[in-house]
C-alpha cells in the first residue's frame, strides 16, 4: 500500500496573517494545501512557500477591507503531480464577482460558492482532494439559504466518487448543516476539539470569546475509500486553526 499524503487546510483571513501562515507552510511542506480566503495577489507567495508549486485558484468575489477591494477565493496547492482538476459551483456564476464588505454582514453571501477538486498522484496511486468555503450565517445558525446551498453542494459531491473534503463550512459541528455532511461522510476531526476558531486571533475573540469556544466550523470529511489519521488542529496562525492530517487509501481499496 502506498504511503499517505500530508494534507493541510487553513482559512488564512485574506492577507492578515501571512507572517505566520507562510513560515508555517514552509516548515510543514504538505503534499497538498487547501486554502480558504486566499487573496489572488498572494498566490505567488503561497506557491513559493510550498516549493514553487502552481495552484488551482477559484475566485469567489471581491473582499472589501479598509476601503481596498481584493479578489478572494479558495485554492489548492499540490506538491504532487496533478492528474485532474475541476471546479463545480453551487452558487453564483464563474467570472461574475461581487463585492463583500467586512462591515456589512448583508453582503457576506454575495460571493460565488464552489468546490475545488484535485486528483493528485503519489507512488502510482491517485487521491481526490476537495475544498470549499460554504455559505455564511449569523452565529452559525442554520438558515433557509444554507439549506438550499447544502442540498446543491451535496448533489455535486454525490457525483465525485471517493474523496476527502476540507474547508470552512460556516456551520458548527452539532448543528443542522454540519450534521447533513456528517450523516453522509466521516467526520474525521477528533471529538476533543471543540472549536476550530483561534480565539486569540479572531476579531471577535476579545468581545465574544464564549461564542467562539464551541464553533467547530472547519471540516475534514471523507468517503469510505479513504482513511484519515493523525488529525490535529494547530492554533496561532490565523483566525481559524489549521487542520493537519494524513490521508491514505482505505484497506479495502
Map grid coordinates 453542494 to a residue.
153
For position 116, which CATH number holds? 3.60.10.10
* Number of separate domains in the chain: 1
Share of the chain above pLDDT 90, in %: 83
Give pLDDT tens digits for 87-110.
999 999 888 999 998 788 899 999
pLDDT at 196: 95
| Cα distance between residue 9 and residue 142, in whole Å | 23
Host domain of residue 143:
5-249
Give pLDDT tens digits for 155-184.
999 999 999 999 999 999 999 999 999 999
pLDDT at 178: 97
Grid coordinates given for 182: 456528517
Lowest mean pLDDT across 93-102, 109-118, 215-224: 93-102
pTM, to two decimals: 0.96
pLDDT at 86: 97
Give pLDDT tens digits for 44-73.
999 999 999 989 999 999 998 777 789 999
> For residue 201, which of 147, 238, 246 has the smallest C-alpha distance?
238
Please check whether residue 15 is in contact with residue 66, taking contact to mean a CB–CB distance below 8 angstroms. no
Amino acid at each position: 500500500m502506498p504511503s499517505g499524503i500530508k494534507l493541510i487546510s487553513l482559512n488564512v483571513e485574506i492577507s492578515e496573517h501571512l507572517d505566520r501562515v507562510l513560515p508555517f507552510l514552509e516548515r510543514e511542506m504538505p503534499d497538498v494545501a487547501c486554502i480558504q480566503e486566499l487573496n489572488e495577489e498572494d498566490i505567488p507567495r503561497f506557491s513559493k512557500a510550498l516549493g514553487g508549486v502552481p495552484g488551482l485558484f477559484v475566485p469567489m468575489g471581491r473582499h472589501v477591507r479598509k476601503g481596498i477591494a481584493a479578489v478572494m477565493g479558495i485554492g489548492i496547492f499540490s506538491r504532487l503531480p496533478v492528474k485532474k482538476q475541476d471546479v463545480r459551483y453551487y452558487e453564483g456564476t464563474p467570472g461574475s464577482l461581487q463585492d463583500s464588505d467586512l462591515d456589512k454582514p448583508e453582503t457576506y453571501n454575495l460571493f460565488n460558492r464552489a468546490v475545488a477538486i484535485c486528483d493528485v498522484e503519489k507512488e502510482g496511486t491517485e487521491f481526490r482532494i476537495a475544498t470549499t468555503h460554504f455559505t455564511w450565517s449569523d452565529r452559525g445558525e442554520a438558515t433557509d439559504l444554507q439549506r438550499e446551498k447544502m442540498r446543491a453542494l451535496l448533489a455535486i459531491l454525490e457525483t465525485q466518487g471517493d474523496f476527502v473534503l476540507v474547508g470552512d463550512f460556516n456551520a458548527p459541528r452539532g448543528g443542522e448543516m454540519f450534521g447533513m455532511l456528517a450523516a453522509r461522510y466521516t467526520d474525521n476531526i477528533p471529538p476533543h476539539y471543540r472549536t476550530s476558531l483561534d480565539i486569540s486571533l479572531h476579531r471577535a475573540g476579545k468581545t465574544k470569546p464564549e461564542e467562539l469556544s464551541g464553533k467547530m466550523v472547519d471540516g475534514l470529511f471523507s468517503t469510505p475509500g479513504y482513511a484519515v489519521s493523525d488529525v490535529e488542529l494547530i492554533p496561532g496562525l490565523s483566525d481559524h486553526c489549521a487542520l493537519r492530517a494524513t490521508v491514505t487509501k482505505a484497506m479495502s481499496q
